């Protein structure tokens, strides 16, 4: 096979065969196909697209380019959850212990990632001693024992995707639906769970800002998951304001603990329950959404989910007592209140701007090697639909540097859109169980 011929074929709008895609991914990962040829192929895909069979084959080839976790020694149906990413998204910290408390095994790989705040791993490292550097044996042993473990992504997870994504990033070829869906799903499938719940976010702070694009991505990923033999459900959720009130690592951990104590912000809990219901259904512990919700709600009310979080933190070397004493978590030295200069109702909070405020404060990474400040962030006091009067506090900034706090102030003021009436808005835009 020659890469030149495959590029030519795709340029003319024909479909590539399974063998051609498999060969191309293998040779590219090995370094036998140069970046300039793969760039041409990616651009041809951007113009000509890929059909369902091609998209599935690309995903499977990227999945198989590295380690594929074997979780067969964990009993029960392993259900994973993935979010396309948003601002204030601490869902995993709450959902994983809730679901595990019901006896559904949660064997999760998470990342740090670039972004406005750290990833799930950074947030969990607010608990002193906590580590996700576990051997595969420890990881599996923990899930069998307490139903929950989170490990860092292995270096050799879907290496073809890692290489291809870096190339797409610098050749303006990220934004193609089949390429995005196969990239995300190759990593999820390599992580080895039996079923997958996807949280596809839409709105200002989301990768897919337009709702129609979010649904298209959701459909594509559900199709791939099911095509790969894993039951897959996607929930399309709102990101036209940050999720919950806390944005910033330790602040988000505190909010997660509050949520497990039954005091979570309503918008956040709506998303947690919508995703949790699907996980419980896929995990075979309930037959209806109502039944699943009742089980999840009981796990919170009884304190079982909070206890599961403490148990999980301890099992991975962390100090679980912080779960019962969140006041011990890192706190910033400066507090600054952001005041409203308008009256009316909050109609939108540009999540992207709030995320940037957190980044300015040091709560996120702008490069792979940046140090992260776990204590800083933003706590929103007024959310969408709230009435505000002149001089009301919209948000509180937690900072360790006054100049950074002032810079973040401007971003937060810009993020708030105030109108004359509260908007109609729903957190859950739709649930896709089949493509």
Residues that bind ligand URA (CB under 6 A): 165, 174, 179-180, 183-184, 207
Q: Are 6 and 20 in contact (CB under 8 A)?
A: yes
Where would I find the H helices in 154-303? 159-169, 177-190, 211-227, 249-260, 266-282, 289-301
The Cα–Cα gap between 396 and 418 comes to: 18
* Angle (CA) 222 226 227, round 5°: 110
| Least distance from ligand URA to the Cβ atom of residue 176, Å | 8
Nearest residue to ligand URA, scored by beta-carbon proximity:
183
Measure Cα distances from 435 to 147, 201, 366 in Å.
Answer: 30, 17, 35
Residue numbers annotated as active site: 82, 161, 168, 183, 187
Q: Shortest gap between Cβ of 84 and ligand URA (angstroms)? A: 7
Q: How far is the CB of 197 from ligand URA (least distance, A)?
A: 17
Nearest Cα to 220, choosing from 177, 189, 191?
177
Nearer to ligand URA, 42 or 415 (CB): 42
Q: Least Å distance between CB 122 and ligand URA?
A: 18
Residue number, 183 or 278, with CB nearest to ligand URA: 183
Nearest distance, CB of residue 179 and ligand URA, angstroms = 6
Could you tell me the smallest distance in angstroms from the CB atom of residue 109 to ligand URA? 13
195-202 β-sheet, strand order? 79-83, 195-202, 231-238, 428-432
Per-residue CA distances from 338 to 138, 341, 361, 397, 405 (Å): 46, 10, 15, 7, 10
Q: Cβ closer to ligand URA: 16 or 221?
A: 221
Distance CA 111, CA 109 (A): 7
Minimal distance in Å, beta carbon 370 to ligand URA?
19
To the nearest 10 degrees (0 to 180), the angle between helices 249-260 and 266-282 is 70
Residue 62 makes CB contacts below 8 A (sequence gap 6+) with 25, 158, 160, 161, 164, 182, 183, 186
Query: What is the distance in angstroms between the CA of the first residue and the CA of the last residue of the chain?
Result: 33
Distance CA 193, CA 27 (A): 27
Q: How do strand 231-238 and strand 344-349 relate by DSSP bridges?
A: unpaired
């Amino acid at each position: 096979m020659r890469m030149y011929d495959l590029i030519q074929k795709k340029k003319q709008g024909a479909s590539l065969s399974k063998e051609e895609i498999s060969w191309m991914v293998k040779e590219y990962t090995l370094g036998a196909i140069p970046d300039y040829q793969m760039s041409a192929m990616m651009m041809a895909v951007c113009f000509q697209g890929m059909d369902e069979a091609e998209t599935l084959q690309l995903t499977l080839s990227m999945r198989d380019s590295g380690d594929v976790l074997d979780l067969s020694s964990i009993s029960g149906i392993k259900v994973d959850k993935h979010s396309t990413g948003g601002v204030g998204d601490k869902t995993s910290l709450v959902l994983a212990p809730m679901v595990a408390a019901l006896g559904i095994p949660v064997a999760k790989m998470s990342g740090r990632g670039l972004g406005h705040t750290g990833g799930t791993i950074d947030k969990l490292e607010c608990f002193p001693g906590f580590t996700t550097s576990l051997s595969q044996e420890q990881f599996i042993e923990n899930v069998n024992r307490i139903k929950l473990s989170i490990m860092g992504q292995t270096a050799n997870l879907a290496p073809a995707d890692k290489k291809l994504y870096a190339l797409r990033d610098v050749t303006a070829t990220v934004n193609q639906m089949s390429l995005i869906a196969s990239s995300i799903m190759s990593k999820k499938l390599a992580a080895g769970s039996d079923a997958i719940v996807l949280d596809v976010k839409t709105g200002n702070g989301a990768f897919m800002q337009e709702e129609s694009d979010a649904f298209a991505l959701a459909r594509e990923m559900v199709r791939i998951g099911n095509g790969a033999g894993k039951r897959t459900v996607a929930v399309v959720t709102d990101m036209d304001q940050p999720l919950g009130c806390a944005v910033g690592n330790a602040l988000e951990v505190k909010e997660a603990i509050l949520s497990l104590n039954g005091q979570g912000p309503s918008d956040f809990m709506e998303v947690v329950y919508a995703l949790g219901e699907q996980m419980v259904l896929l995990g075979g512990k309930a037959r209806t959404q109502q039944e699943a919700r009742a089980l999840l709600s009981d796990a919170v009310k009884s304190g079982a989910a909070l206890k599961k979080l403490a148990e999980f933190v301890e099992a991975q070397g962390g100090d679980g007592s912080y779960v019962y004493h969140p006041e011990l978590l890192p706190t910033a030295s400066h507090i600054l209140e952001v005041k409203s200069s308008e009256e009316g109702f909050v109609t939108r909070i540009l999540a992207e701007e709030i995320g940037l405020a957190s980044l300015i404060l040091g709560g996120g990474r702008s490069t792979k090697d940046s140090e992260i400040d776990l204590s800083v962030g933003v706590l929103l006091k007024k959310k969408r639909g709230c009435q505000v009067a002149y001089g009301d506090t919209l948000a509180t900034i937690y900072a360790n540097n006054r100049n950074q706090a002032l810079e973040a102030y401007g971003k937060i003021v810009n993020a708030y859109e105030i109108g004359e009436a509260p908007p109609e808005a729903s957190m859950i835009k739709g649930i896709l169980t089949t493509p």
